């Protein structure tokens, strides 16, 4: 059956081991990260590819590696992850675990009664282009997209599960995992600190937000490192005619947010103004939150509009109400920031499978690879050449 889907593109802004307060990754770039993930996942049973203990990490989404496909010709990867899910929005699929740990093919929950241990959820498809530091999520009717889960899964696997034979892993008494380079490359002894660094370099890959105060103090010492993987939605370039045309017509900026009326919201933004006013009709069905809309007269430049769009795109899980838009002259039509995200369409035959086979899906992507990536390549060239 033909499946129609959408591609949304993300820019990988951080990937690798970072020194505290240093912007450049020292190791484990996107290519190395994915190569390690693929090797690790292929050697493990399906049900052991979730990096977290669900009892200890209740705030993490359960996620498994169903398939990681690598294309040697392009250097691209296609990751099919399986998000543990139980909501009733759309079909739910189960992957049964055999006694030897192998996984059966996915089945719909309504189709058959299962007598084996089964993991219920939905597939998530991600196309990764390391050469362009780009990730594309593919959303079909029977799949999910969760960029926060994708980022956390990669970080969790590297931090907690993936063996790194080229490094020496050390676990401290309080559970902090560190990496030590076995044979550090000597650096020019421009200072005593660099001379010390040349003798031994230690790296911490535990995320700072998961550390105790004492562990954080250790991690932020000079020459300590930790693993980070972050990405943000790609939006159209400032050289786009669509953006230039919009800038010439904008008269107002509109901001919509959902705010709490039961506690002080400490986020920055325009919604802080609303705390000065009484909230009417507090006896409505939802007594804890209100949808608010704020309009301001403005004439932003192309660059300022792009900055607003990028700020909106950095929120990877916006609600159906929360949004930013631009009101244009005369018609008063609202152009929403969401419409400027870099996206495309894809149609693929699912071959009768509930989860589209990875090799088959990548072949379909590869047929239009040049077209999909052309705007990204052009956008990457613009800052360097100044061309449109």
pLDDT tens digits, residue range 213-266? Answer: 555 555 445 556 778 999 998 987 766 788 888 889 999 999 888 777 665 555
DSSP symbols for 158-209: HHHT---TTSEEEE-TTS-EEEE-SSPPP---SSHHHHHHHH--EEE-S-GG
Pick the closest to residue 363 from 137, 78, 34 (CA basis): 78
pLDDT at 351 over 70: yes
Share of the chain above pLDDT 70, in %: 68
pLDDT of the residue at 125:
98
pLDDT in tens, 32-43: 999 999 999 998
The CA distance from 208 to 176, in Å, is 11
Written as six digits, the tokens of 173 are 């008494």
Averaged pLDDT, 151-176 = 78
Pick the closest to residue 358 from 127, 69, 58 (CA basis): 69
CA distances from 267 to 120, 150, 257, 284 (A): 36, 25, 11, 24
pLDDT at 190 over 50: no
Are 105 and 82 a contacting pair, CB within 8 Å? no
Pick the closest to residue 17 from 42, 45, 36 (CA basis): 36
Average pLDDT across the chain, whole number: 78
The CA distance from 246 to 308, in Å, is 13
pLDDT at 199 over 60: no
DSSP symbols for 198-243: HH--EEE-S-GGGS-HHHHHHHTSTT-EEEEEEEEE-B--TT-HHH
pLDDT of the residue at 244:
87
Written as six digits, the tokens of 156 are 């969790």
pLDDT at 280 over 60: no
């Amino acid at each position: 059956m033909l499946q129609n889907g959408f591609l949304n593109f993300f820019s990988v802004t951080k990937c690798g081991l970072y020194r505290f307060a240093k912007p450049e990754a020292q190791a484990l770039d996107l290519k190395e990260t994915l190569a390690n993930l693929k090797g690790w996942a292929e050697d493990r049973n399906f049900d052991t590819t979730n990096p977290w203990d669900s009892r200890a990490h209740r705030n993490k989404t359960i996620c498994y590696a169903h398939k990681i496909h690598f294309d040697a010709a392009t250097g691209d990867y296609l990751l099919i992850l399986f998000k543990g899910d139980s909501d009733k929005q759309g079909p739910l699929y189960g992957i049964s675990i055999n006694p030897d740990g192998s996984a059966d093919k996915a089945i719909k929950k309504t189709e058959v009664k299962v007598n084996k241990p089964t993991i219920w959820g939905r597939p998530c498809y991600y196309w990764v282009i390391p050469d362009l530091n780009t990730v594309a999520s593919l959303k079909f009717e029977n799949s999910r997209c969760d960029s926060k889960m994708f980022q956390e899964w990669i970080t969790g696997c590297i931090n907690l599960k993936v063996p790194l034979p080229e490094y020496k892993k050390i676990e401290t008494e309080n559970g902090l995992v560190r990496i030590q380079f076995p044979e550090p490359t000597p650096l020019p002894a421009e200072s005593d600190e660099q001379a010390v660094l040349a003798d031994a370099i230690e790296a911490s890959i535990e995320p700072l937000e998961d550390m105790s105060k004492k562990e954080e103090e250790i991690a932020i010492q000079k020459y300590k490192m930790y693993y980070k993987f972050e990405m943000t939605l790609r939006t159209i370039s400032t050289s786009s005619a669509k953006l230039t045309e919009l800038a010439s017509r904008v008269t107002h900026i509109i901001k919509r947010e959902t705010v709490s009326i039961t506690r002080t919201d400490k986020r920055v933004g325009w919604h802080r103004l609303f705390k000065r006013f009484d909230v009417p009709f507090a006896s409505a069905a939802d007594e804890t939150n209100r949808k608010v809309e704020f309009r301001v007269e403005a004439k932003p430049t192309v660059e300022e509009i792009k900055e607003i769009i990028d700020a909106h795109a950095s929120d990877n899980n916006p609600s159906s109400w929360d949004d930013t838009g631009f009101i244009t002259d005369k018609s008063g039509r609202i152009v929403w920031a969401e419409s400027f995200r870099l996206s495309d369409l894809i149609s693929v035959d699912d071959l009768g499978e509930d989860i589209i086979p990875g090799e088959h899906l990548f072949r379909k992507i590869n047929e239009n690879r040049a077209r999909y990536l052309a705007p990204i390549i052009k956008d990457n060239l613009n800052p360097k050449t100044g061309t449109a």
